[in-house]
Amino acid sequence: MRTGYTGHITTSEWRWVTSFSILLVLGAFLPFLWMLVIGLTDSDWQFMGALHDYGNSATHLARIYQGTEDRWLLSYLHTPEAQDGTLIGFVYVLLGQLSRLVSLPAVVVFHIARIGASLFMYIALYQLAASIWMRVRTRRIFFVLIALGSGFGWLAAPLFQILDATDLIVPQAYPFLASLTNVHFPLAIACLALLSSVAVAVLRPGTHDRPAIENGGALVFTTSLILTFIYPEAVVPILLAFVLAAGIAWFQHRDNPSTKLLWLIWFAVPALPMTAYYLGVIAYNDVANAVWTQVLDTRSPSVIGLLAGFGLMLLVALPGLARATRRFEPDGDQFMLIWLIIIVILTYLPGIQAMALAGAMIPLAYFATRSVEDFWFEYIHRRQRMRVAVALLPILAASHLFMMWLPIRPMADGDFADASGLLLQEDYFNAFNWMERLVRHDDVVLAAPKVGLWLPVWTGGHVVYGHPIETIDADTREATVTQWYSTDDLDVCRDILNGTFNADTALYAVDYVLYGPMERALGDTVCLELLQPIQQVDDVVIFRYAPTATAFDPTDALP
């Protein structure tokens, strides 16, 4: 490989990309390891299982828990309504089944899977680079840019109060941030990388190979199917980009369209059955429909937030974007430019919105790489290139470093209460362990909002409020829970427990109530008079709601 050009990935390249990927994954786990080994020593707080994007991670862990119970059709545990089982979070269902088979805790399986998914993502991204460029240096530039590239969110947030920069709130757009958060984001980016590698090859002028097992057809079919299961919204932008790019290629070169049509079929057909299933679930499952509606109500970042979130990467990519727009060549530029434009358009149209940003760094890093090789290196002397790279890389990755260490900042300062939600008092963790033997999967538990986030993860029960998206009518439910722990009106207490508060018919019925430090912090309530205490675990009292029970004086059971 003396010339630095190769049509395949050599053994030395695999060693380089594997070593680099392992370093990235280990770096992403440093805050996690710090907290486990040092952060909570001699404290009364318990880490609940996820560090970055812990609110959404709690919903994924709840799905894994249901999988450990040998369930394939799952419920939304963070809302109290009775519901039919649905095939949701399929990758987490599989992890739950694996956790059951190997007898490992769900949290351990979750993080092991995160490591595996992240490594697979980085390898898929390098495979994409190798499918586009023959020059090894260019492949490595692309890999470094896409692995470390972020924006100016770290600077825009404190200085200009731009809190919606994409590199702060949209981890699915950035490979490194995706590796911090969950399992399905890295897998989705890997699938998008593999699909785009085939799309670029198929759309090259003069390509007439029909899809087959040995030329990428099987890869497209399988990857499209997997992506539909784990992140169906990400299928839409890349599929539209392929359709439009294929149409433009036919218009420009008048190729026989049958080949492109066959590839389109292999792209689209795997997605159709699951798409039909999802539409049926939304149409006939009221709970799933309500949750999905709240997902769609999630705001996209502002235009300023989008620009700030891509920051330096966007600036580096501008010459490549300008060249692609001017020449519009079908050598990869067309497809990548169309894909990037469609992502931006879908982000601001009603529909999938911010979810369309999944993998957005792939086309942007492509143009940044083209810019570096074709434009920026013309202005940087060969001897100075390494110095410039060393100076720019920390700025390029600054938001990732900022987000990586942000969750543990309160713990580093010893302010564990400021990290509540990410942490809970150890008394709650002990109470969850006791309740796991008691709570059935259709039981409903009333607890403080931050407690309700984690209770389904460790007990498998539903909560009245637990998550801003997966709790139906979340704002009202959160206010209702707070009111229950502070009201002096027993009628209000009964209505909330019976699920008739602000509703004409009962939507749920509470079975158990927790009363611990976080619940007492919400206020003094008379509602405990309606409950029957069944267990006290440290500073947390567990009550059963029994409407016919004799009135109870809560001071008899509380410390």
β-strand pairing of 444-446 with 512-515: parallel
379 burial class (0-12, 13-18, 19+ CB within 10 angstroms)?
A: exposed
Q: Are residues 382 and 454 in the same domain?
A: no
Final residue in a domain of this structure, among 379, 406, 433: 406
**Averaged over 408-423, what is the pLDDT?**
80
Q: Are residues 441 and 502 in the same domain?
A: yes
- Which letter, b or e, does each residue of 148-172 get, where b requires 16 or more Cβ atoms within 10 Å of its Cβ? bbbbbbbbbbeeeebebbbbbbbbb
Which amino acid appears at position 428 of this protein? Y
In a domain, 313, yes or no: yes
Encode 365-386 in three state secondary structure.
HHHHHHHHHHCHHHCCCHHHHH
Q: Are residues 318 and 364 in the same domain?
A: yes
Tell me: the pLDDT tens digits for 72-105? 988 999 999 988 888 888 899 999 999 999 989 9
pLDDT at 478 over 60: yes
In a domain, 124, yes or no: no
pLDDT at 559 over 60: no
pLDDT at 402 over 50: yes
In a domain, 280, yes or no: yes
Which pLDDT score, from 0 to 100, does residue 1 have?
Answer: 39
**Averaged over 148-167, what is the pLDDT?**
92
Q: Are residues 270 and 155 in the same domain?
A: yes
Which pLDDT score, from 0 to 100, does residue 554 have?
Answer: 45
Q: Are residues 329 and 457 in the same domain?
A: no
Tell me: the pLDDT tens digits for 515-558? 999 999 998 889 998 999 999 998 999 999 976 544 444 444 44
Which pLDDT score, from 0 to 100, does residue 42 have?
Answer: 60
In a domain, 243, yes or no: yes
In a domain, 436, yes or no: yes
Please tell me the total count of domains within the chain.
Answer: 2
Final residue in a domain of this structure, among 344, 375, 406: 406
Domain containing 540 equals: 423-556
Cα separation, 555 vs 559, whole angstroms: 8
Beta-carbon contacts of residue 131 (< 8 Å; ≥ 6 apart)? 197, 198, 200, 201
**Averaged over 154-160, what is the pLDDT?**
91
To 5 degrees, how large is the angle CA 402–CA 407–CA 34?
Answer: 95
pLDDT at 370 over 70: yes
Beta-carbon contacts of residue 151 (< 8 Å; ≥ 6 apart)? 165, 166, 167, 308, 309, 310, 311, 312, 313, 314, 399
Q: Are residues 341 and 432 in the same domain?
A: no
Q: Are residues 216 and 326 in the same domain?
A: yes
Q: Are residues 357 and 384 in the same domain?
A: yes
Cα dihedral value 45, 50, 56, 61, nearest 10 = -100
Q: Are residues 389 and 483 in the same domain?
A: no
Which pLDDT score, from 0 to 100, does residue 40 have?
Answer: 64
- The model's confidence at residue 471, banded by pLDDT at 50, 70 and 90, is very high
Which pLDDT score, from 0 to 100, does residue 296 have?
Answer: 77
Q: Are residues 271 and 221 in the same domain?
A: yes
Find out whether 305 and 164 touch, Cβ atoms under 8 Å. yes
Q: Are residues 284 and 163 in the same domain?
A: yes
Q: How many CB atoms lie within 10 A of CB 516?
A: 23
**Residue 437's CATH number:** 3.40.50
In a domain, 66, yes or no: no
Higher pLDDT, 423 or 417: 423
Q: Are residues 220 and 270 in the same domain?
A: yes
What's the whole-model pTM score? Answer: 0.92
Nearest Cα to Cα of residue 246 among 342, 335, 168: 335
Which amino acid appears at position 298 of this protein? T
Final residue in a domain of this structure, among 372, 406, 440: 406
Query: Phi, psi (5° rounding) for residue 473?
Result: 50, 55
Quote the mean pLDDT of the chain: 89
**Averaged over 502-507, what is the pLDDT?**
75
In a domain, 174, yes or no: yes
Cα separation, 253 vs 260, whole angstroms: 13
In a domain, 33, yes or no: no
